[in-house]
Amino acid sequence: MLKNYLLNQRNNKLLPIRRFTLLCFLLMAFSAFSQKSPKVSTEVDTTSIKIGEQVRFTLTVEADTTAQVIFPEGQTFSPLETVEAFATDTTRQNDRMTLQKIYALTQFDSGSYKIPAQRIDINGNGFLTDSTTIINVANVAVDTLAQKMYDIKPLMEVEKSKAKLWLWILGILLGLLLIGAPVYWFFFRKKPLTEEEKVALLPPYDRALLELKKLENSRYIIQDEYKQYYSELTDIVRSYLEEDVHVSALESTTDELINKLELLKDAGELQIEEDTLLQFKRILQTADLVKFAKSKPESSVAEQDRKAIEEIVIKTHEALPEPTEEELMEQEEFKEELERKKQKKKIVYASLALFGLLVIGASTATAYYGFTYVKDTLLGHPTKELLEGEWVASSYGYPPINLETPHVLKRQETKLSPEMKANIKDLQMFSYSNTEALFTVGTSSTTLTQEVEPEFNKSIESFIENLEKQGAKNIITKQEEFTTLTGVKGIKVFGSGKFPVPQSKELVDGKYAILLFGGKGFQQQVILNWLDGDTYAQKIVDRILGSVEVKTEL
């Protein structure tokens, strides 16, 4: 018992110490928790404004200095409209920081509007603000006696801006320049003549004398190349005779050529002496011996033969009768015909080159993009133009539906029947339709008279019945859950069928999709209809569906 008494006394002495230690531990834990737990608060500068005035909504976040805080961006305050989001103001104290972001909000319709809860991302965790603040928007008093009231003006069709037209013109001109410059440079430009071309354009007589002079200055004799020397010598004189005397000399043997010249002499068409013909025959025979029998004459003999050939050319030219006027005319017409043939040849070559460039360009584009894409780019395709055009991101109706479309959606006039007015307070519809592309996109926002959940099944049945009334057949329907990028869940009804073509009795294979969202007192729909097998239309639909955002409360 004494032992127990001593133990109890000891425990009683240690009890205050244990309680103090436990209290310190709890205080430290609470302090550590308070340092790590962020705080989010909101504030508005006023709850009553007039139409068009602004409310300053302040979001304040207290967190550790190491925290990563992401504030909401865009039109997240609907039905209020975000006019401006000011820069974040940051203050630091020890290991804590206070972030403050101010939003300027407004509304252009009178009524009471609840500021929806805003999501702030802190270190990957979402924190929601309260949604109890209500903003009252009052009408602005207008003196209708002093100022007349006017009807709302209808929508105006605005012509597409031609600001980029000059860019297209510049691009076309650059393309023509890139193609035309090489064609002109290689085919139509007057190139400087080479030495060989200048010689070829000389008359046969002048060209023969010039070539004989070049042969005189050659090194054939010095290098004992007599075969090449006599080959060029006889080719020069034979070419001259063929062109100027009009006798087939290049393919004739020595005896045949001499016989042809003698016949011309006897007929009086070539007034040449007999000695000249004999001398010419001797030189041709010497050349035959050198070329075929490997004979090697003296260098002085070779030089004398060249001079003799030069004399023969001169005498032959002098022996030719003067050309008549008809012959001169024929020669002129012949030259013109040659020039026309050269011009035609240039045009053909240029056309072939241009065609080749087009084929190469088309083949390269086809290999890279595919035949269908190249064909649709050159010939045009309605949905391709929609896909690659300038898209519009906007908000439609109330409750708002935000989405991105190839063209702005136009408001559709709707009249509610007495039966519909019993359940529907307001119906706002917007749509865009391209009959050439057989593509349609539309939205509808419905406000109910009572705060009840919308009946999606009835809406789907009504949509299918409306398709059948328009002439659609073989409609296949599928259904699945749809979730927007911000996590709003809805229903997606989609399928295929045969749909009528406007102003025609023809039915084509098409597809459709309808998104349904809603909550107590309202319903929202996005409707799409496009041609089956149209890859461009499918990309348009995917892009629109990926951009849809809706509000889940009024």
Per-residue pLDDT at 371: 67
Q: How confident is the model at residue 142 (pLDDT cuts 50, 70, 90)?
A: low
Q: Give residue 106's region: left, alpha or beta (phi > 0; psi -120 to 50).
A: beta
Report the percentage of the chain scoring pLDDT > 70.
Answer: 80
Say whether pLDDT at 103 is over 90. yes
Domain boundaries, the chain: 1-35, 39-138, 195-321, 390-550
- CA neighbor of 488 nearest in space, from 391, 401, 424, 396: 401
> What is the distance between the alpha carbons of residues 517 and 396, in angstroms, rounded to a whole number?
14
Q: Which CATH superfamily hosts domain 390-550?
A: Mog1/PsbP, alpha/beta/alpha sandwich (3.40.1000.10)
Per-residue pLDDT at 378: 67
- The mean-pLDDT minimum among 271-280, 304-313, 350-359, 508-517 falls in 350-359
- 39-138 maps to CATH 2.60.40.10: yes
- The mean-pLDDT minimum among 196-200, 454-458, 497-501 falls in 196-200
**Which pair of tokens denotes residue 269?**
């068409």
Say whether pLDDT at 338 is over 90. no
Whether the domain at 39-138 and the domain at 195-321 fall into the same CATH topology: no
Per-residue pLDDT at 195: 67
**Which pair of tokens denotes residue 325?**
């006027």
For residues 449-457, average pLDDT: 81
pLDDT digits (tens, 9 = 90+) for 379-422: 767 888 888 888 988 888 888 888 999 988 888 887 777 777 77
pLDDT digits (tens, 9 = 90+) for 217-265: 888 888 888 899 999 999 998 998 888 888 888 888 988 888 988 888 8
For residues 92-109, average pLDDT: 90
Q: How confident is the model at residue 102 (pLDDT cuts 50, 70, 90)?
A: very high
Residue 401: burial class (beta carbons within 10 Å; 0-12, 13-18, 19+): buried
CB neighbours of residue 235 within 10 Å: 14
**Which pair of tokens denotes residue 96?**
């804590």
Per-residue pLDDT at 45: 92
**Contact 397/411 with Cβ under 8 angstroms?**
no
Say whether pLDDT at 144 is over 70. no
**Which pair of tokens denotes residue 50?**
């007039």
> What is the distance between the alpha carbons of residues 548 and 488, in angstroms, rounded to a whole number?
10
User: Of 127-136, 444-453, 466-475, 507-516, which one has max mean pLDDT?
Assistant: 507-516
User: Of 162-166, 286-290, 331-335, which one has max mean pLDDT?
Assistant: 286-290
For residues 163-183, average pLDDT: 74
> What is the distance between the alpha carbons of residues 456 and 461, in angstroms, rounded to a whole number?
9
For residues 364-371, average pLDDT: 70
Phi, psi of 405 (to 5 degrees): -135, 160
Secondary structure class of 324 (helix, strand, coil): coil
Per-residue pLDDT at 457: 82
- The mean-pLDDT minimum among 17-21, 56-60, 356-360, 426-430 falls in 17-21
> What is the distance between the alpha carbons of residues 257 and 253, in angstroms, rounded to a whole number?
6
**Contact 50/138 with Cβ under 8 angstroms?**
yes
Please report, to the nearest 10 degrees, the dihedral formed by the alpha carbons of residues 195, 198, 204, 208 taken in order: -20
CA atoms within 13 A on the CB side of 440: 16
**Contact 389/381 with Cβ under 8 angstroms?**
no
> What is the distance between the alpha carbons of residues 271 and 277, in angstroms, rounded to a whole number?
11
Per-residue pLDDT at 55: 92
Per-residue pLDDT at 346: 74
- CA neighbor of 306 nearest in space, from 280, 268, 333: 280
Secondary structure class of 85 (helix, strand, coil): strand
List, in order, residues 6 or more apart from 251 with CB less than 8 Å away.
none
- CA neighbor of 97 nearest in space, from 44, 38, 31, 33: 38
List, in order, residues 6 or more apart from 96 with CB less than 8 Å away.
35, 62, 63, 64, 65
Q: How confident is the model at residue 29 (pLDDT cuts 50, 70, 90)?
A: very low
Name the class of domain 195-321: mainly alpha
- The mean-pLDDT minimum among 29-43, 54-68, 420-434 falls in 29-43
- The mean-pLDDT minimum among 185-189, 235-239, 324-328, 527-531 falls in 324-328
Per-residue pLDDT at 261: 86
Say whether pLDDT at 15 is over 50. no
> What is the distance between the alpha carbons of residues 364 and 225, in angstroms, rounded to a whole number?
55
pLDDT digits (tens, 9 = 90+) for 284-324: 898 888 888 888 888 888 899 889 888 888 888 887 776 66
Contacts 24+ apart (CB under 8 A), 41-46: 42/118, 42/129, 42/130, 42/133, 44/115, 44/133, 44/135
> What is the distance between the alpha carbons of residues 48 and 420, in angstroms, rounded to a whole number?
34
Say whether pLDDT at 104 is over 90. yes
